[in-house]
Amino acid sequence: MNKDMTDDFEIENGRLLKYRGHSPWPEIPEEVTAIGEGAFRDCRDVEELILPPNLERIESEAFQWCANLKKVSAPESLCLIGPDAFAGTPFYRYYNENETEWKEDFLFLGRVLFKARRNIRVADIPEGTLSIAADAFNERVLLRELKIPESVADIGWRAFSDCSALTAAHIPAGVRRIGWHCFKGCARLNEAKFEEGVEEIENGIFANCRSLRQVRFPDSLRKFPGWAFFGSNNIETVTIGDKAVMIGERAFSGCENLRKVEFPSRLEKIGVDAFYSCISLEEAKLPDGLTTLENRAFAGARTLRQADLPQSLRTMGESVFSGCRLLRQMKVPGTVGTLPDDSFFGCDGLEELTLEEGLVSLGRRALGDCRSLKRLRLPESLTVLGDRALKNCLALEELKLSPMTERIGREAFAGCRSLRTLTVPENVTVIGAGAFDGCAGLADAEGYVILDGVCYGCIEPRTDIRVPRSARAVASGAFADKPQILFLTVPDTVEAIGEKAFAGCRGMKELRLPEGIRTLGGNPLRDCDSLESIIAPGMLPEQFETEKERVSAVIGYCRRADSYTPEKAAAYEDWMRGNTVRILEACIDRNMPDAVRYFTAKRLIGQEEHASVLEKAQRSRAMEIVALLLDYRGSGLENEDIFEKYDI
């Protein structure tokens, strides 16, 4: 590295990094071959520049905001000027007012065509021009003819954008790079021709070019640009050069008349929204070697009938084919690992889908609203079905889940009204709320879904749930998030209750569990905010997870004490001894005099406790409980030591 520092200039290997002086006419050292990005930015003292004789390029924003810079003399060696190099200066205005430096309709700096006149109609750019600077022809609304010579190698940002009268553009073989939004908004452009040689095209080259109908790109192009035809509604046919390995984001987004795209054989990646809402595209022949389809690549292409996914595919984004309503048959290679969220959501014409071995999960709504799906083959490797993964697959009649399946998400099969045969493996440990809502074909006459002795819920909006005796287990999430349920009874045939089986039943007041429960999953009563009593003869207070649940269980015991064995009853009364006030206050809040009656009948309320709960009952206007407590006091509370009289 060769770095030279002077008082005014910082230079590194011939590149001027920064000017720190204050002279109106700075003398740039002859060794400088490049002026770096922002090197003179905001140097408001500079008025005139004579650039060094060997200067080759001026980088972006080099003289930005030099508010007094009017005149620049450049050598013939200058061949490239970056975007916004002279933004915020009076440089162009000065030359527009002084005719001496113009060559016919063009202003040159070195061999860079820097600006064209605003009223130019025909642009025959001179041979020997090496580059066309950013914005050189921007908004030249009268320009109708353009000729670019073979000598031009670089065309800058927005060089011809919004030239609304331009009808044709021929890019010669010498051009290597075309900058951002080069022909954006050329509304009458109906012909664009490329010679072989272009290697790089930046984003948005033909955005909003509404008259273009077909374009063929050269084989020399390695990356097809993003936003290339964004908003160019009338483009119909595009041929992408055979060496391109990538199609950029939103390249054809919103191209409503696009009917045919010839994909290059070396293509590896299709970007985000690349063909979003291309509503006339019927076929996508994706080549072997394609590895990546990013989010929404073909989403909304509602006339797409065929898109074969190659075995080389490794990454598939969300919503890739969402809304492709005419797709009939698809096969997804297991190499993608996961079928992401919304992959085929709304593909209501899809009838057959094969997911190959290696695929381990279905994302949220991955196949949601595939209303015509009749044949679905799931791989043995599948372990997870995400939330609403198959919701509203109305035509699906039969499905066998992999024995490896561990999790079924919320509403995974909701609305699958034709589903009559479903094999759920024992390996499943988590089932989300409403997984089988609306599965009329799986339900019995009363609306309960019971498969192989496991109750998965009820599809009817019942307030009083009585699990049928044919059930030996209640699945996780079976009745979760059913706020209409008020009472729920589990029969004595049931021995196991899954995780979160009743979670989110915010309206449930009473739960009855059988004595024979052997397994109770985690958080079975989470967010059951209205639960007043739990009658569970087979469980101890300590087996419930929260204090509120334990209080509800004790209240349930008080109401149905005759259902409990002496050993269980002793455990409940032992827990009651230290929590009398808390339990009675809960009875008052829930207005449950029958539970209070147990305390008075057994004379379990001490004198201090009685005064406290009586005051609360009076404040709460629980008059039946007030009457019970007053009667209890009148029966001799003041003369008795309750805890000495009763060994409790």
Tell which residue, 631, 626, 575, 633, has the closest CA to residue 608: 633
DSSP 3-state of 584? helix
CA–CA separation, 603 vs 621, rounded Å? 23
Interatomic CA distance for residues 474 and 553, integer angstroms: 20
Is the same domain home to 172 and 218? no
Say if residues 391 and 363 touch (Cβ distance below 8 Å): no
Beta bridge partners of 103: 106
Query: Pick from 542, 574, 579, 572: which is nearest to 557 by CA?
Result: 572
Q: Do 21 and 59 lie in a common domain?
A: yes
3-state per-residue secondary structure call for 92-125: HHHHHHCHHHEECCEEEECCEEEEECCCCCEEEC
Q: From the centroid of its chain, how far is CA 400? A: 29
Q: What's at 499, amino acid-wise? A: E
Q: Which amino acid appears at position 248 of this protein? A: G
Q: Is residue 366 part of a domain?
A: no
Q: Which of 192, 282, 264 is nearest to 229 (CA)?
A: 192
259 and 198 belong to one structural domain? no
Residue 381's pLDDT is what?
97
Q: Are 114 and 94 in contact (CB under 8 A)?
A: no
What is the reported pLDDT for 637?
Answer: 61
- In the prediction, which pLDDT does 634 show? 79
CATH of the domain at 164: 3.80.10.10
Question: Could you give phi then psi for residue 306, rounded to 5 degrees?
Answer: -145, 130
Return the pLDDT at 3: 55
- pLDDT value of residue 646: 40
Whole-number Cα distances in Å, 335 to 36, 309, 312, 314: 46, 11, 7, 5
- Whole-number pLDDT of residue 578: 85
Domain shared by 199 and 243, yes or no: no
Residues 165 and 91 in one domain: no
Low-confidence ranges of the chain (pLDDT < 50): 1, 640-648
Distance, in Å, from the CA atom of 306 to the CA atom of 209, rounded to the nearest integer, reads 28
Q: Which of 97, 119, 154 is the last residue of a domain?
A: 97
Classify residue 541: in a domain, yes or no: yes
**Separation of alpha carbons 606 and 614, rounded Å:** 12
Residue 496: inside a domain, yes or no? no
Same domain, 232 and 318: yes
SS3 state at 413: coil
Q: Is residue 487 domain-resident? A: no
Q: What is the pLDDT of residue 501?
A: 95
Give the count of domains, the chain: 4
Say whether both 173 and 225 belong to one domain. no
On whether both 247 and 280 belong to a single domain, the answer is yes
Output DSSP code: residue 634: H
pLDDT at residue 99 in the model: 62
In a domain, 75, yes or no: yes
Residue 152 phi, psi (nearest 5): -70, 130
Contacts for 645 with CB less than 8 Å, ≥ 6 apart: 603
For residue 601, give its domain range: 533-645
Q: Are 66 and 43 in contact (CB under 8 A)?
A: yes
Question: What is the residue type of 588?
Answer: I
- Of 170, 203, 236, the residue at which a domain comes to its end is 203
Alpha-carbon gap, residue 436 to 428, rounded angstroms: 15
- For the chain, how big is the Rg over CA atoms in Å? 39
- Let me know whether 612 and 582 are in one domain: yes
Tokens of residue 222, six digits: 């390695």
Q: Which residues of 610-632 are buried (b: 16+ CB within 10 A; e: fewer)?
A: beebbebbeeeebeebbebbeeb
Q: Within a domain: residue 338?
A: no
- The answer to whether the beta carbons of residues 466 and 446 sit under 8 Å apart is no
Examine residue 430 and state whether it is found in any structural domain, yes or no: no
3-state secondary structure of 626: helix
Do residues 194 and 300 share a domain? no
Q: Which of 151, 173, 203 is the endpoint of a domain?
A: 203
Element (H, E) at 496: strand 496-497
Residues 129 and 91 in one domain: no
The amino acid sitting at 208 is N
Give the per-residue pLDDT at 439: 96
Residue 226 resides in a domain = yes
Per the listing, tokens 């939004």 go with: 181
Work out the burial of residue 587: count CB atoms within 10 Å of its CB; fewer than 13 is exposed, 13-18 middle, 19 or more buried: buried
Q: Residues 314, 244: one domain?
A: yes
